[in-house]
Amino acid sequence: MSYESEMLSKMRMPPKIEVEKAILEVLFKHSGVIKEFSAEQDIVHEMAGMFNLDDDQRNAYLETVYRKENRLKKSNLWHRLLFRAADSLAKEKLVSRPTSTFKLTNKKEWMLTELGYDKALFILNIPTSQKNILPTKSFEVEKIIKKLNDKIRPENYNPFDENKKISQITKEQTLRERGFRQAVIAAYDYQCAFCGMKLKSPDNLCWEVEAAHIVPHSFKGKDDIWNGIALCHLHHWAFDVGWFTIKNNFEIVLSSKADYLPSAYAKLDGNDCLKRYDVKSKILLPKSKHSYPHPNALSWHQKNKFHR
């Protein structure tokens, strides 16, 4: 038995396989990413709490003597166990290593892969179908988001994908849709561009806001950030059916048909969910102009979905 194994046994540390499982759970809980393990990092203490480690277990050290340099190296046993477990997950391609993640996001983090994401959902007994609405990151989806954000914004944008096959849903298409969704709602800081609604579920697993296509999938609309806008469930529906549109200067325009709605319609706690915004209000826009809705996509919506 190695010195490290002896210390793990002596300090009654949890088995590596259980730590691997806990890392996947914590990655899922933290939207798919956690930082490299370091001394005073909250995630290190959070995971120690999951195993009810006492102070002795948390503060135990391995001591290694470097004879040539005549010095003693000390490394925290719990950190070492966390790293070995994460390294094992990386070898199984369940997570990406911080060096790989850094090349993609400029952040040294462990990140779930699609394979690791599926395993985390299995551990937590969550259907894989929920991946389409969860904000949890995966390495593969993050690559798609990077491509979307790095695209050069065209002046004469064509929001239609003539090669899109509506009836055939592939794994690649599902990944693109998730990348589109996460890129759009992040650009709008997770709030509705129409009313400003910003709300998470009580378990912090998903946002209320949705990524709406301006030119819909059913019309072969592209999964580009310029053909997207973040809207709450209510205003996503209202936009899709044409209760309002958005002018090229980003002003909200309400359908004249709203004037003929019965007095009890479109009310929420006495507030009108449509008319209160029809005073040349502008939508809330992303911080980066690169992510603004493109006029060509908005013009299509004005002509083809809006009821004047």
Tens of pLDDT, residue by residue over 208-219, are 999 999 999 899
In this predicted structure, the answer to whether residue 121 has a pLDDT above a threshold of 90 is yes
pLDDT band at 279 (very low <50, low <70, confident <90, very high): low
Question: Which pLDDT does position 276 carry in this prediction?
Answer: 67
Question: Which pLDDT does position 112 carry in this prediction?
Answer: 98
Q: Whole-angstrom Cα distance, residue 34 to residue 163? A: 38
Tens of pLDDT, residue by residue over 23-41, are 999 999 999 999 988 766 8
Tens of pLDDT, residue by residue over 43-64, are 999 999 999 999 999 999 887 6
Domains of the chain, by residue range, sit at 3-126, 184-304
Who wins on pLDDT, 72 or 107?
A: 107
